[in-house]
Amino acid sequence: MSVNDTLTDEEKLAELDLATLKQLVGLVEYDSAGDPFPVTGWDAIVWAVGNATQTAHFFQSAFGMELIAYSGPETGNRDHMAYVLKSGAIKFVIKGGVDPDSEIIAHHARHGDGIADIALTVPDVDKCVEHARAQGATVLEEPHDVSDEFGTVRIAAIAAYGETRHTLVNREHYTGPYLPGFVARTSAHRKRPGAPKRIFQALDHIVGNVELGAMDQWVDFYNRVMGFTNMAEFIGDDIATDYSALMSKVVASGNHRVKFPLNEPAVGKKKSQIDEYLEFYRGPGAQHLALATNDILQAVDALVEEGVEFLATPDSYYSDPELRARIGNVRVPIEELQKRGILVDRDEDGYLLQIFTKPIGDRPTVFFELIERHGSLGFGKGNFKALFEAIEREQAKRGNF
């Protein structure tokens, strides 16, 4: 079976087609026949937060997501609350502890608001786990069925960097809103008049921050255990400012729906942004999620309207003649990008527009990127220096630089 020419049920429900998705997230042709660990795409991003009720509200009011399912004390789950939110093809599951002894509360105490689980849809859970185990991965949950009146889900979990896990899900024989134990739920929240139908349609990539010296080990993990292939590599000078540096390599699932850049700190004159993350997250974890949008201008305007803060881009970025020459023509005048601080990068395949929020929680850890791709399969390498200088200005304000 070829995974590239099929849409996931979620993508179909989100009214996405292959051409759109190819542009949004840089989907590529791929034959899964020889893949030891075929991955169809993202299943859900599971967050552990200090207050799921309010975080779920934030993702609805600010990020335009829609509440679709819920689990909590009213449904028999006395341990925690979990809100399932959707935007386009992607689901966030926001969990917060109710029982003071809940593991979610312990997770939050260690890491602050963060991503506990990057769950992936796979066509064959058992095959993946068997391969992962043979390659030395830690199996956290053996393959098993969970069922309710909507059918059966086959599920398992393996350990990734830090305390992050990958739950592996096959929901081919399930029609419920999320998983057994969850009930369908909507919310009374209404979008502002004129707000876009969606801020983002899909998830492009999730960046993982790992300790100094551990990047290659995790690249090897995704290559060997999960059959991911290497994409662009950025090392040394590519991502150094005068003061701090990091190293980054990118791995992707066969169809490129799932892309994981992996960062480690590099030695610089001052504390790297990755070091700051590792200190405040208390170890490796997911650093940013890149949300794919087909209209980044509208998305940024809507987010700013709701009070979401972005990293500032200096005016010098837009007046730099070298950058202007490299960027060439993009779909909107540079002035429109400058007004909003949107960055541009171009490579041999096309260009991309991107912008980064400030950290969304109390700790300087997880944040979002918005990305609008026009052919480019890159990650904004040409922007790293300008971007990191902006991050360092924020780090300095926090006294961590």
| 370, 354 Cβ separation under 8 angstroms | yes
d(CA 306, CA 295): 17
Q: Using the structure block, give the residue that is written with the tokens 């590792």.
A: 278
Q: Using the structure block, give the residue that is written with the tokens 């992962």.
A: 132
User: Which phi and psi (to 5°) does residue 391 adopt?
Assistant: -65, -40
Is 295 or 369 the residue whose CB approaches Fe ion more closely? 369
Q: What is the C-alpha R_g of the chain?
A: 20
Q: 74-103: b or e for each residue (b if 16 or more CB lie within 10 Å)?
A: eeebebbbbbbbbbbbbbbbbbbbbeeebe
d(CA 235, CA 312): 25
Angle between the 273-281 and 384-397 helix axes, to the nearest 10 degrees?
Answer: 50
Sign of the C-alpha dihedral computed for residues 216, 222, 223 and 225 taken in this order: positive
Reading the block at residue 16, the tokens are 């996405």
Q: For residue 375, what are the CA distances in angstroms to 23, 95, 256, 364?
A: 6, 36, 14, 32
User: Which phi and psi (to 5°) does residue 398 adopt?
Assistant: -85, -5
Give residue 143's identity as a one-letter amino acid code: P
d(CA 3, CA 271): 42
Interaction site with Fe ion (CB under 5 A)? 290, 369
Q: For residue 23, what are the CA distances in angstroms to 202, 255, 293, 385?
A: 11, 13, 10, 26
DSSP state of 97: E
| 3, 40 Cβ separation under 8 angstroms | yes
| 313, 327 Cβ separation under 8 angstroms | no
